Every structure is written in structure tokens, then in C-alpha cells.
């Protein structure tokens, strides 16, 4: 996987712009506390989504997804359990960039928190 600094910087800038816009929409003003509040939710979303993708890619949900697919396609065609693709084979989205952007946004939030308490 090629590490593209320019692309990551653009995505991080868009994320920070969205955080500032959400601060203005939700709190009707842009303060350090509102930035910390909104960036906490954005960071949590990024990291939780990347952890979900990690557990999906580990094969944790494969048996459950295969079983549900076999159950709901019952009677339509004769399929074997081994022929049904697992959820880890179907979802190919990479979770590492989401974790990276969540980590950087979290570090910016922690810096804002230190400025707030200093």
C-alpha cells in the first residue's frame, strides 16, 4: 500500500472543515469546547468503523453471514455451505486509512483539550 501524503492531507482538511461546519450548525458558534465535542464524535466514528472493518476482515462474522445467506436462499436453489462467500470476502474496504484519520483527528482533539485546560 502506497502512503500518499497529499491525499491524506486533503482528507484530513475536509474532515476538519466538516467539524468546524458541524460546530457552527449544532452549537451556533465556534468555540474550543464545541470543536472538542464534535471532533470526539468524528474520531469515535472513524475508529469504531475501522475496528468493525478489522473484525469483518478477520473472519469473525463469516459463519453467521454464510448461515443467514443459506437460510434465506433455502428452497430457491441448492447451494452448499462451502460455496457461499464469507463476509470477509465480500467487503474489501481497507480500514487502515480510517484508523489513521481517526487517530490524527483524535490527536488534534487532545491538543485542543490541552489548550483548553492550560
Condensed to tens digits (0 to 9), the pLDDT of residues 34-64 reads: 999 999 999 999 999 999 999 999 989 888 8
- Domain count for the chain: 1
pLDDT-above-90 percentage for the chain: 61
Distances (CA, A) of 85 to 11, 19, 64, 74: 32, 38, 11, 16
pLDDT tens for 95-110 read: 999 999 999 999 999 9
For 75, the domain range is: 5-117
Give Rg (Cα) of the chain.
20
110 contact partners, CB below 8 Å, separation of at least 6:
none
pLDDT tens for 19-37 read: 999 999 999 999 999 999 9
As a whole number, mean pLDDT of residues 68-74 equals: 81
Q: For all residues of the chain together, what is the average pLDDT?
A: 90
Amino acid at each position: 500500500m502506497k502512503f500518499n501524503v497529499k491525499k491524506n492531507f486533503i482528507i484530513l482538511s475536509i474532515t476538519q472543515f466538516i467539524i468546524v461546519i458541524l460546530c457552527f450548525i449544532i452549537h451556533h458558534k465556534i468555540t474550543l469546547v464545541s470543536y472538542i465535542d464534535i471532533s470526539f464524535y468524528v474520531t469515535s466514528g472513524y475508529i469504531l468503523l475501522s475496528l468493525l472493518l478489522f473484525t469483518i476482515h478477520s473472519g469473525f462474522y463469516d459463519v453467521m453471514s454464510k448461515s443467514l445467506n443459506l437460510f434465506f436462499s433455502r428452497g430457491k436453489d441448492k447451494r452448499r455451505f462451502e460455496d457461499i462467500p464469507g463476509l470477509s470476502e465480500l467487503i474489501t474496504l481497507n480500514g487502515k486509512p480510517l484508523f489513521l484519520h481517526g487517530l490524527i483527528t483524535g490527536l488534534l482533539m487532545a491538543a485542543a483539550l490541552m489548550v483548553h485546560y492550560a
